[in-house]
Chains A and B, each alone.
Chain A
Amino acid sequence: MISENSILRFARGTRLQHDRVRDVWFIQAPERAFHADPIAVEVLQLIDGTRNVGDILDLLCQKFSAPREIIARDVLILLQDLATKQVLQAK
């Protein structure tokens, strides 16, 4: 399970990529591309294999001046989903 202490990185063969032609973001993965909505993009751009999830939540709180518990709930659901899809992995 992903927690605030988890340090995440993109699994090899997956990456976040801006699609210039459609001007949207995709998560590229083996044999498929998932569309990434603007919120997911904000979160995923902070995944660097060094910060833990708690640090990422702090940064998002500052940027969007929203209550931490609300951001934390949504972000953990997103990250857990992407870990299940083997896009992200815990270090």
Chain B
Amino acid sequence: MSAPPPPMSLLAELTHRCPLQCPYCSNPLQLEPRTQELGTQDWKRVLSEAAAMGVLQVHFSGGEPMARPDLPELVAHAAKAGLYSNLIISGVLLNTKNLQELADAGLDHIQLSFQDAEAENADHIAHMIGAHAKKLEAAQLIKAEGLPLTLNFVIHRQNCERVPAMLALAEQLGARRVEIAHTQYYGWGLLNRSALLPSRAQVEETEKVVAEARARLSGRMSIDFVTPDYYADRPKPCMGGWGQRFLNVSPAGKVLPCHAAESIPGVQIPSVTEESLAHIWENAPLFRLFRGTDWMPEPCQSCAFKEDDWGGCRCQALALTGDATETDPVCHRAPEHDLITQAITERPETPPPFHYRRYGKIKAY
């Protein structure tokens, strides 16, 4: 296999610590503790290496990246290396002082998460009283400072009827972008699938509302919409193809092709504490495992769309079928597509209580 093209983006998950406990968190079930987190110098080296490889944008995320006191220092380092910096936060730790430090460090953009448009339900989903009010304050501070603001709403059966109110809130807060993203069902999302998976009618309604808003708000606010692949005919091109555009570094320095790739069994997880980022990108068995199309089974191998969707999501194939090399079950041609139709038919009438995202032992799904 020839050398892969350089990666475009680096997701820097600075910490898994977070004051919120959202039941669809994209972090792994086994959260990394503070004691295992990389230090400031290690992160600076990772940022420099990423820029030298051709990464254009860094996404500082977590957990709550503002739990790291060295965040402004890392942002400044990224800016110096020529990286465009996005910061993805809950907003509950933001104040005038630390916002100014981040802006002075050269931060380019902030993405602020919201759990709902309505405070009581939002706080219930985040499992933190007063979180929504703090987020509203944070949005106002960011707007006043002048940094471009994206509002991010993860949607599911318990909030998706309020997409119109979410869009109105984003407009009212002066957001330049808004992300309306249906929950993805792996890790915590899969654990909470019965509490989160919407009905087909709910999904179609969100699509309609977003299409109307896009036409109305063109040029003023852009809307990114993530459809739930359970209701799609074809799988999503997960991460733009395995090991083709995207790198994820975990709080402890594990280097992954996507958020959930640690779940892939039988392959060593590379770490920035042992090898350079460039070496890992080009040579690590984990990155080569599903890069390109050679690994694909049928019906993917002879499928006309194999370079459109790159076989969908490997972690989803693993989580649902027990085999990461299987066809992504969301594909209507997948041998195990029944797993998806079954999950939809077996949605309970009343959503069960959330299994909140916390440190500690997780019962097997």
Residues of A within 8 A of B (CB): 11-15, 17, 19, 21-22, 26, 28, 30-33, 83-86
Q: Return chain B residues, CB-CB under 8 Å to A12.
A: 146-148
Asked whether B222 is an interface residue with its Cβ less than 8 Å from the other chain, the reply is yes
- With a cutoff of 8 Å between Cβ atoms, the chain B residues found around residue A84 in the complex are 218-219
Since A13-B108, A14-B148, A19-B54 are in contact, a sample of 6 more A-B pairs with Cβ atoms closer than 8 Å, ordered by chain A residue number, is A11-B148, A11-B176, A15-B84, A26-B56, A86-B219, A86-B220
- B179 to chain A minimum Cβ distance, whole angstroms, is 8
Q: Are B150 and A31 in contact (CB under 8 A)?
A: yes
Number of B residues contacting the other chain (C-beta, 8 Å)?
25
Answer whether residue B109 sits at the interface, using C-beta atoms and an 8 A cutoff. yes
On whether A30 and B53 interact (CB within 8 A), knowing A13-B108, A84-B219, A85-B222, the answer reads no
B56 x A28 contact (CB < 8 A) = yes
Shortest Cβ distance from A11 into B: residue: B148
B84: which A residues are within 8 A, CB to CB? 15, 17, 28, 33
B149 and chain A: residue at smallest CB distance: A30
Contacts of B53 in A (CB 8 A): 21
Q: Is the CB of A17 within 8 A of B82?
A: yes
Q: What is the CB-to-nearest-CB distance from A18 to chain B, in angstroms, rounded to a whole number? A: 9
B54 touches A86 (CB 8 A): no
Q: Give, as a whole number of angstroms, the nearest-CB distance from B46 to chain A.
A: 17
A28 near B57 (CB under 8 angstroms)?
A: yes
- How many angstroms from the CA of A26 to the CA of B56 in the assembled complex? 9
Min CB–CB distance B152 → chain A (angstroms): 10
Shortest C-beta distance, A32 to chain B (Å), equals: 8
B6 contacts the other chain (CB 8 A): yes
B136: Cβ under 8 A from any A Cβ: no
Highest count of chain A CB atoms <10 Å: which of B84, B86, B109, B177: B84
CB-defined contacts of A86 to chain B, threshold 8 Å: 176, 219-220, 222
Task: For residue B363, give the distance in angstroms from its CB to the closest CB of chain A.
Answer: 35
Across-interface contacts of B148 in A (CB, < 8 A)? 11-14, 30
Cβ contacts A to B, 23 pairs, < 8 Å: A11-B176, A12-B148, A13-B148, A13-B176, A14-B148, A17-B84, A19-B54, A21-B52, A22-B54, A26-B56, A28-B57, A28-B108, A30-B108, A30-B109, A30-B111, A30-B150, A30-B176, A30-B177, A31-B86, A33-B8, A33-B57, A84-B218, A84-B219
* A13 and B8 within 8 A (CB): no
| B interface with A by C-beta (< 8 Å) | 6, 8, 52-54, 56-57, 59, 82, 84, 86, 108-109, 111, 146-148, 150, 176-177, 218-220, 222, 224
Nearest CB in chain A to that of B59: its residue: A31
The reply to whether A31 and B54 contact each other, CB–CB distance below 8 Å, is: no
Q: Chain A contacts of B147 at CB under 8 A? A: 12-13
A13–B86 CA distance with the chains assembled, in angstroms: 10
Chain A residues with CB under 8 Å of B150's CB are: 30-31
Which A residue's beta carbon lies closest to that of B145?
A12
Residues of A within 8 A of B176 (CB): 11, 13, 30, 86
* Chain B hits for A83, CB < 8 A: 219
- The residue on A at minimum CB distance from B221 is A86
Q: From residue B251, how far is it (CB to closest CB) to chain A in Å?
A: 21
Cα separation A90 to B56 with both chains bound (whole Å) = 26
Least CB distance from A85 to B in Å reads 7
Distance between A31 CB and nearest chain B CB, rounded to angstroms: 6
Looking at the assembled complex, report how far the CB atom of B68 sits from the nearest CB atom of chain A, in whole angstroms. 21
Report chain B residues within 8 Å CB of A26.
56
A31: contacting residue among B146, B177, B218, CB under 8 A: B177
Interface centre among A13, A14, A28, A33 (most CB of B within 10 A): A13
Chain A contacts of B59 at CB under 8 A? 31
A31 CA to B219 CA, complexed, in Å = 17
A28 proximity list for chain B (CB < 8 A):
56-57, 84, 108
Q: Determine the residue in chain A with the shortest Cβ distance to B148.
A: A13
On chain A, the residues within 8 Å of B57 by CB distance are 28, 31-33
A28 vs chain B, min Cβ distance (A): 4
Q: Once the chains are docked, how many angstroms separate the CA of A19 from the CA of B7?
A: 12
